[in-house]
Each structure stands twice: as C-alpha cells, then as structure tokens.
Amino acid sequence: MTRFAATTDLFATWAEGIESSLDDAQALAALPDEIRSFPPLALRDAVQIVGEHMTDWRWKELIRTLKEADQLQSTPGGQHRISLAQLHAWMETEGIRPSRPPGVDRAIRVAVENFKGGAGKSTTCLHLAHGLALRGYRVLVIDTDPQASVSRLLGIQPHRLDVADTLACIVDSPPTPLKPRATHIDGLHIVPASMGLTNLEVSILSMFRDNQGDRIGPLMESAFASVEADYDIILCDFQPAFSLMQTFLLHAMDSLFVPLPTETPDFAGTGDFLSQIQQFVSSIERIVGKPKVWDPVLVVHTRRKKSGDLVHNLAGRVFGIHRPPEYIEDSAAISSALACLKSVYEAGADQYDPRAIKRAREQVDNVVDVVASAIVARWAEMTGDSHDK
C-alpha cells in the first residue's frame, strides 16, 4: 500500500475531525459572548429596513423609550443601537410590520431548488431567509438536505440532533409535529436537517413499495399544517439530487425559486432539472387527479460571473418574466462571510472589504425585494385585491 491508502476507520476519524472543526467555527462566529446574535442596528440600518417611515424624530423617540425602560444597549462611542427584535416590536406597534394578509390562513411554501450541484441553493436559502426576516416577515426554514448546510449556517450542529428534530419526524409512529427552533435572527426559525433524514427517504420508498404512495402527500400536508399558521413564509432548502422524498416535497410547495449560476453547465443542468420535474411530478399528478401549479416561479442568477453574459441572455430569452433582471454576483464578500458561517447581512469589516460587503448586500436586497413582491402579488390575488387582471 502507498502512503495515500485509507480505511473506513480513517474516514470516521476525518468525519469526527470535520465536525469538531465546525463546532469550533460556530463558536468563533458567536464571539465575544459565545451566544450568537445579529449585529445591533444603527439609525441607517433601521432606515434601510423600514424605509422613510423611520425618521430622525421617530428614531430619537424610540431610543428615549428604550432608555427609559432600561432596554437600550450600551455601545462604544455613544452611538445608539437597537436589536432587530426591538425594531420589529416597534414596527408592530406602528402597524408597518409586513405579514400575510387576513384571508390567507397559512404560510406560503417556497422551494429553493435546482438539483445541479454548486448552484448555491443553501446560500440562496440563507440569504432569502435573512433578508425576508429582516424586513419583518415571520420565516421558517425547513432544511430537507441531509448535508444540512443551511442548518450549519444558522448555528445548528446536525450531529447533535435526534432524528425527531428533523422533517423525518413525520414518519414516526404515530407521526409527530414539526419542531421549529428559534435562530439568532428575530422572526426566523428552522426545522434543521441531519443525516437522519435518510430515514424519511427509506420510509417513503417502503410506502411506495407497499402500494401506500397515496399516504405520502397527506403526511407532508399534515406536517406543514402543524406549524404554518405561525409563519408568513416557509422556505425549503432541497438537496442537490432528485429522490422520491424530494419529488413529493416539491409537489407540496406553493412556489419555486430556482438559483441559476451563469455558466453553461449550470444552464444545461437546469434544463435537466426542469425535465425531471415534469417527468416525476406528472406521476403524482396522476395520483391526485389534478395538475400542479407553482406560483410564483422565479429563476434568478445567484452566482453571476463577469463572463456570464451568454447564459444571462439565453436564460432571459427562455424564461421571460420568470427571470427578473436582478442578480447576485459570484462575490468574494459573500464567500468570506460564509467561511465564517455568516450571511452577508452579518459580515463586518473583519470579514472583507466594507465596500464589497455593501455591494453584495445591495444585490441580495434587490433579489429579496423581487421575491417579496412576487409573494405579495400572489397573496393579493388570493384575497381578491390584485390589480393584475
């Protein structure tokens, strides 16, 4: 044997080393107090989130109220800052916190999916979740990928989870409700993932083998129904491969967000992905007896390269209005933030150049605004308030 030979025991040692290293990285992401928290907000941050409703005098009044209640954070240099939770509470009091409208009795379910590996699904899901929660929406992320990338990015240690902490709880006997847990972002909760999700795939395959495929859809509907009244938006991060479980999950979604990098192999892989959807979901359509419609469906360039004009233009011709002009560049600022298990909204000057971070945030914000606007339009149609006739 050469010095490069390895056994499964060594694989296990490597796996343990990776988990230990990630634990250390998550602890570093929480320093100095070892409790991870979202950065406090200055006036300019509040204005960016709330808009023109946050005037100088309203800010001063909020600061005075918090100071009188002894709830104001002390900050270096005497510049006043507040927590995201305090801003959301103020928005609630002012009647400007966004939410699904009366008459829409549950959260909209949004799949973030493209089975082409490297498309940036988990990164995109993380930033959509952060961006929507910052704006005041109540957001639930459901991580359906056993690799648990978005769970790690939100501070979860998957190897410490029980199977019942994941979506796999729906095939318990009897099925148990989903167990969302709060994150360090106010208004953002998660049902995390772990390798235990493979149990769900095995159970679904067994049901199909035993001619009980008609049980799968109702199981998933029941799982969502146990939590979705508490949220405005549910984002599901999918794994980068088709499976029976993923197909049924995709059928249970209301909306679809497809991240599309601007390289030709990604464009081709997205075509394969869409063909697979048509092929696999049509089987479920025959079971339930009606066609599936996702609304809205958006295809967005989330890792646009400077050399990506060809795919950008081709995608625009193929997808039309479903491919908005807004995009997110393949940014070193985002990569640097992710290396520290943070979103670009959390990144500071110690992670990367502040100007590059600002540019990346603006691009992410633009995409989040597109998604939020499309969801609001869908809600308006559902309640009869749509002017898009």
* 3-class secondary structure per residue, the chain: CCCCCCCHHHHHHHHHHHHHHHHHHHHHHHCCCCCCCCCCECHHHHHHHHCCCCCHHHHHHHHHHHHHCCCCCCCHHHCCCECHHHHHHHHHHHCCCCCCCCCCCCCEEEEECCCCCCCCHHHHHHHHHHHHHHCCCCEEEEECCCCCHHHHHCCCCHHHCCHHHCHHHHHCCCCCCCCCEECCCCCEEEECCCHHHHHHHHHHHHHHHCCCHHHHHHHHHHHHHCCHHHCCEEEEECCCCCCHHHHHHHHHCCEEEEECCCCHHHHHHHHHHHHHHHHHHHHHHHHHCCCCCCCCEEEECCCECCCCHHHHHHHHHHHHHHCCCCCCECCHHHHHHHHCCCCCCCCCCCCCCHHHHHHHHHHHHHHHHHHHHHHHHHHHHHHCCCCCC
pLDDT, position 363? 95
Q: 142 and 76, same structural domain?
A: no
> Is residue 183 located within the same domain as residue 238?
yes
What's residue 2's pLDDT?
46
Q: Are residues 81 and 115 in the same domain?
A: no
pLDDT for the residue 119: 63
Among 33, 66, 94, identify where a domain stops.
94
Containing domain of residue 84, as a range?
Answer: 43-94
Q: Which residue has the tokens 């092929």?
A: 279
- Whole-model pTM: value is 0.89
Per residue in 19-32, pLDDT (tens digit) is 666 566 655 554 43
Residue 23 inside a domain? The answer is no
**What is the predicted pLDDT for the residue at 31?**
43
Same domain? 234 vs 310: yes
Residues 203 and 281 in one domain: yes
Position 84 scores a pLDDT of 96
Q: Same domain, yes or no, for 48 and 179?
A: no
* Co-location of 200 and 74 in the same domain: no
How confident is the model at residue 21, as a pLDDT?
66
Report the domain count for the chain.
2
| Tens digit of each residue's pLDDT (9 = 90 or more) over 134-192 | 999 999 999 999 889 999 999 898 888 888 899 988 887 777 889 999 999 999 999 99
Residue-level pLDDT at 23: 66
Domain membership of residue 352 (yes or no) is yes
Q: How far is CA 365 from CA 30, 105, 133, 344, 368, in A?
A: 24, 27, 12, 10, 5
Is 336 part of any domain? yes
Residues 133, 234, single domain; the answer is yes
Give mean pLDDT in consecutive 10-residue pieces for the chain, a chain of 389 residues: 57 67 59 67 92 93 91 73 95 96 95 79 94 98 93 90 89 83 96 88 81 79 92 94 84 91 84 85 81 90 79 88 91 88 86 87 96 95 72
Same structural domain, 240 and 351: yes
Could you tell me if 245 and 366 lie in one domain? yes
Q: What is the pLDDT of residues 103-145, one digit of tens each?
A: 999 999 999 998 766 668 899 999 999 999 999 999 999 999 9
Domain annotation covers residue 15:
no
